[in-house]
């Protein structure tokens, strides 16, 4: 089970420039996105150990040699793929603002978001057994999957505090993790779906009561 994700080059940015011209010139990295997307797909379906470089190449309609021309090993391709999985479903600069904490939290429940969360959790599950051996993977996952979701909740809660809706005497850091933790647990551990109903039961059964608010009468 070799992993050697040493990746000793701290200057390697996870962000890649968009394709400059249309076709290739010099070092052409224009096909990187397709390959990284393919890697994420295979990762979600098969897990790290089940993923083979041939699967990724086939899915991206590329040759295996092409993968190795860009990434020195399977491990580094995976780290890169995860790092480039940045949230397209969450936009921190464009959060809902309904005037109430419950309204904001409920407004975050969108099919698109649920779907993205599910996909990310699949990827996470596939990488779980490898995490303890790869700090850079932990970091990549944290930045791409974990942190954004907690940050959304933190902002919504802080806004509710700022407008005086809820007490400032609240452990925001822990509270912001309730929903992400419980959805991850449900998806990963108990293998049951996270749907609107489950999220509402977390919001109305835990989060709102914990800050002294009540759900509207049904």
Among 11, 171, 216, 218, binds its own copies (CB under 8 A): 171
Nearer to DNA, 38 or 117 (CB): 38
Nearer to its own copies, 109 or 138 (CB): 138
Nearer to its own copies, 37 or 46 (CB): 46
User: Minimum CB separation from its own copies for residue 32, in Å?
Assistant: 25
Query: What, of its own copies, DNA, none, does residue 125 touch, CB below 5 to 8 Å by kind?
Result: its own copies
Among 12, 66, 98, 129, binds its own copies (CB under 8 A): 129
Contacts of 118 by beta carbon, 8 Å cutoff, 6+ apart: 187, 194
Alpha-carbon dihedral of residues 77, 79, 80, 86, nearest 10 degrees?
140
* Residues 63-122 contacting its own copies, CB under 8 A: 122
- Write out the two tokens for 2: 């070799």
Contact yes or no for 174/114 (Cβ under 8 A):
no
Q: Which of 29, 151, 17, 6 is nearest to 76 (CA)?
A: 6
How far CA 142 is from CA of 114, 212, 214, in Å, comes to: 18, 30, 32
Contacts of 149 by beta carbon, 8 Å cutoff, 6+ apart: 90, 117, 180
Query: What, of its own copies, DNA, none, does residue 27 touch, CB below 5 to 8 Å by kind?
Result: DNA
- Write out the two tokens for 55: 């699967």
- Residue 212 sits in the site that holds its own copies (CB under 8 A): yes
- Residue 171: strand, helix, or coil: coil
Find tokens 């580094």 and name the residue.
76
Among 74, 140, 180, 194, binds its own copies (CB under 8 A): 180
Find tokens 């990963």 and name the residue.
188
Whole-angstrom distance, CA of residue 138 vs CA of residue 133: 9
* Residues 30-59 contacting DNA, CB under 7 A: 31, 50-54, 57-58
- Residue 61: strand, helix, or coil: coil
- Residue 130 sits in the site that holds its own copies (CB under 8 A): yes
Q: What residues line the site for DNA (CB under 7 A)?
A: 1-2, 21, 23-28, 31, 50-54, 57-58, 60-66, 68-69, 72-75
Q: What residues line the site for its own copies (CB under 8 A)?
A: 1, 46-50, 122, 124-132, 138, 141-142, 146, 170-171, 174-175, 177-178, 180-182, 184-186, 188-191, 201-202, 204-206, 209-212
């Amino acid at each position: 089970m070799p992993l050697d994700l040493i990746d000793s080059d701290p200057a390697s940015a996870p962000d890649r420039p968009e394709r400059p011209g249309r076709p290739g010139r010099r070092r052409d990295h224009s096909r990187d996105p397709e390959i990284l997307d393919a890697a994420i797909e295979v990762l979600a379906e098969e897990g790290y150990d089940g993923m083979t470089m041939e699967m990724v190449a086939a899915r991206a309609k590329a040759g295996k040699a092409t993968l190795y021309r860009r990434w020195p090993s399977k491990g580094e391709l995976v780290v890169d793929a995860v790092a480039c999985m940045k949230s397209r479903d969450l936009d921190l600069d464009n959060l809902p603002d309904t005037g109430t904490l419950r309204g904001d939290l409920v407004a975050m429940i969108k099919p698109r978001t649920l779907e993205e969360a599910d996909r990310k959790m699949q990827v996470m599950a596939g990488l779980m057994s490898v995490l303890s051996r790869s700090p850079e993977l932990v970091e990549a996952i944290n930045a791409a999957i974990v942190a954004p979701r907690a940050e959304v909740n933190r902002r919504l809660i802080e806004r509710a505090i700022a407008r005086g809706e809820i007490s400032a005497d609240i452990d925001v850091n822990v509270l912001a993790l309730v929903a992400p933790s419980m959805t991850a647990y449900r998806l990963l551990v108990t293998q049951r779906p996270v749907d609107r109903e489950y999220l509402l039961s977390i919001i109305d059964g835990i989060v709102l009561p914990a800050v002294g608010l009540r759900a509207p009468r049904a």
